[in-house]
Amino acid sequence: MAELDRPGGSPAVPSDWTYAPAPESRDVVHLRDRYGLFIGGEWLEPSETYETISPATEEPLAVIGQASVADVDRAVVAARTAFADGWSSLPGSERAKYLFRIARILQERAREFAVLESLNGGKPIKESRDVDLPLAAAHFFYYAGWADKLEYAFPNRRPRPVGVAGQIIPWNFPLLMLAWKIAPALACGNTVVLKPAETTPLTALLFCDVLRQAELPAGVVNIVTGDGRTGAALVEHDGVDKIAFTGSTDVGKAIQRRLAGSGKKLTLELGGKAANIVFDDCALDQAVEGIVNGIYFNQGHVCCAGSRLLAQESIYEPLVEKLKRRLETLRVGDPLDKNTDVGAINSAMQLEKIRELVESGREEGAEIYQPPCRLPEKGYWFAPTVFTNVAQSYRIAQEEIFGPVLSVLTFRTPEEAIEKANNSPYGLSAGVWTEKGSRILWMAQRLRAGVVWANTFNRFDPSSPFGGYKESGFGREGGLHGLEPYLRFDE
């Protein structure tokens, strides 16, 4: 690990200010020993089970059901029944009431959910508290507002619900992705079978409590836990009218192949390798913050993470110096500590994948920098990492790492920046850093990415559509666009 040179020698540090641990209390969360499958408003015993753990300590948290093909069938039947028995014909204003109720309950129980999200997923509590929970609640509020206005959203097209939506969500934002999926589906009058990620089922299971509190009719939302087999059973079930999937590009492609010719609607939100493009006229210190937020937010477990930094050559050196110095101040550790900036890697499998790709970067000749930081012994951890001297052809510049690893490349002109940014099978997001407004617009027109952030990164809002180009998927979530995948039209 490189030591940074401090000009003017290094005088004795006059004092050492170590922040005392400031852990958020776990007492607000009451975990059960085991969880069944939430089907038709009831908890059903699964035939098979597995254990879910805390990735920060590897401590087992609860026993979780592994839903079988038969269990998935039960869930789809429950959803179909609820759809036919009234949910689909309920006036929009009535559906909205349930969504508003869910949103308010999420706000009321925000602390409990935030702690559980960090416990089960490894993300810092400050992120689950300040990002995941407020945004999840905001999504329910937002789509509650649309529920009785669908006729106005799509005038003269007679919008009607699709039916039963099968939804499969990832482990990086467990509750937030649940909200992105469930809120528009219910607002449009569909019923849902949702499968949370294998490693992070707990907030989805706690959410079942919220559904009961909100007195949502039984069967409107069903939660089936399990691994890829459960997901496959859901995708293949004949009773499902629509599949919404967020996850890896490989699985997304497999789903698309399976569904070809089936007539089921499909939306996919897949991987990314976003370019964060920094021009020499940007506000440099704020760009550094944006780069850090772009790639180290949620340990880099973000599909739209700014994993490729494209720095204009004229500021390459000061930018990288500032970035390295900033990395030294990142606090890696206990996800429940309120001062933690970077938490635990979500699973042993993901850690292995990150290590493998980082190794490939070293072998291919990139220069690695990791700030000095002490990682906990137990659990899954990876220090924030920057690769410099990265060539466009390296695997770390092409493949999605999904970890706290940044690859730095350079460019000379705006044209070259566009060429490099678009030279990727992915196209989910991009960032542009410049003080020049006209250049932002010029870039945004040419970047083949679903989201282009200007002088910011990883900023989300329920009213703003989100989705990809190319192998990053299709279909939009959020905003008015996010309603469309859950509606049929007379045309």
Partner 1 sequence: MAQAPVLPAGFELPLEPRLPRIGSVDAVALEERAGSLAKRSIKRDAKVFALRLAIRTTDLTTLEGADTPGKVAALCSKAMRPDPTDPSIPSCAAICVYPNLVPTARERLEGSGVHVAAVATGFPSGQYPTSIKVADVRSAVELGADEIDMVIDRGAFLSGRYAKVYDEVVRVKEACGEAHLKVILETGELGTYDNVRRATLLAIAGGADFVKTSTGKISPAATLPIALCMLEAVRDVYFETGRRVGFKAAGGIRQAKQAVQHLVVVHETLGPEWLTPELYRLGASSLLNDILMQLRKEKTGAYQSPDYFTLD
Nearer to partner 1, 155 or 437 (CB): 437
| Residue 269 to residue 468: CA distance in whole angstroms | 7
303 is catalytic: yes
Nearer to partner 1, 178 or 327 (CB): 327
How many CB atoms are located within 10 Å of the residue 456 CB? Answer: 14
For partner 1, the binding residue among 81, 339, 360, 398 (CB under 8 A) is 339
Rounded to 5°, the CA angle 235-241-243 comes to 45
Smallest gap from residue 369 Cβ to partner 1 (A): 17
3-state secondary structure of 477: strand
Q: Is 102 within 8 Å of 206 (Cβ atoms)?
A: no
Question: Choosing from 188, 208, 303, 304, which is the catalytic residue?
Answer: 303
Q: Does 461 bind partner 1 (CB under 8 A)?
A: no
Q: Does 16 bind partner 1 (CB under 8 A)?
A: yes
Per-residue binding letters, 438-457, with partner 1 (x by CB under 8 A): -----------------xx-
Question: By CB under 8 A, which span of 9-17, 152-160, 161-169, 386-394 interacts with partner 1?
Answer: 9-17
Q: Does 11 bind partner 1 (CB under 8 A)?
A: yes
For partner 1, the binding residue among 1, 3, 18, 25 (CB under 8 A) is 18
Question: By CB under 8 A, which span of 15-23, 68-76, 159-167, 466-474 interacts with partner 1?
Answer: 15-23
3-state secondary structure of 232: helix
The residues, ordered by sequence, that sit 6+ positions from 220 with a Cβ below 8 Å of its Cβ are 79, 82, 87, 186, 191, 192, 211
Q: Does 13 bind partner 1 (CB under 8 A)?
A: yes
Q: Which two tokens stand for residue 145?
A: 């507002």
Nearer to partner 1, 298 or 472 (CB): 298
For partner 1, the binding residue among 31, 254, 284, 368 (CB under 8 A) is 284
Smallest gap from residue 186 Cβ to partner 1 (A): 32
Smallest gap from residue 203 Cβ to partner 1 (A): 22
Smallest gap from residue 468 Cβ to partner 1 (A): 25
From 215, 41, 221, 180, select the one nearest 483 (Cα to Cα): 180
Q: Does 126 bind partner 1 (CB under 8 A)?
A: yes
Smallest gap from residue 379 Cβ to partner 1 (A): 21
Burial of 190 (0-12, 13-18, 19+ CB in 10 A): buried
Interactions with partner 1, residue window 292-331 (CB under 8 A): 314-315, 317-318, 321, 325, 329
For partner 1, the binding residue among 285, 367, 415, 461 (CB under 8 A) is 285
For partner 1, the binding residue among 3, 15, 27, 257 (CB under 8 A) is 15
Q: Does 290 bind partner 1 (CB under 8 A)?
A: yes
The letter for the amino acid at 360 is S
Q: Which two tokens stand for residue 489?
A: 């039209």
Question: Choosing from 112, 198, 269, 400, which is the catalytic residue?
Answer: 269
| Residue 296 to residue 293: CA distance in whole angstroms | 6
Per-residue binding letters, 226-265, with partner 1 (x by CB under 8 A): ----------------------------------------
For partner 1, the binding residue among 45, 250, 419, 435 (CB under 8 A) is 435
364 is catalytic: no
Taking only Cα atoms into account, the Rg of the chain, rounded to an integer number of angstroms, comes to 23
Nearer to partner 1, 66 or 429 (CB): 429
The number of residues that bind partner 1 (CB under 8 A) is 36
Nearer to partner 1, 14 or 263 (CB): 14
H or E segment to which residue 136 belongs: helix 133-146
* β-bridge partners, 42: 39
Q: Is 202 within 8 Å of 38 (Cβ atoms)?
A: no
Could you give the C-alpha distances from 183 to 82, 121, 144, 178, 437, in angstroms and in order?
17, 22, 8, 8, 35
Rounded to 5°, the CA angle 293-277-341 comes to 10
Smallest gap from residue 28 Cβ to partner 1 (A): 17
For partner 1, the binding residue among 2, 28, 70, 283 (CB under 8 A) is 283
Q: Does 373 bind partner 1 (CB under 8 A)?
A: no
From 289, 249, 288, select the one nearest 269 (Cα to Cα): 249
Alpha helices by DSSP H, listed for 338-385, are 348-364
From 175, 193, 179, 187, select the one nearest 235 (Cα to Cα): 193
Quote the crossing angle between the two packed helices 174-187 and 92-108, to the nearest 10°: 160
Place of tokens 């050492």: 16
Q: What residue ranges bind partner 1 (CB under 8 A)?
A: 7-8, 11, 13-22, 126, 130, 281-287, 289-290, 314-315, 317-318, 321, 325, 329, 338-339, 435, 455-456
Residues known to be catalytic: 269, 303
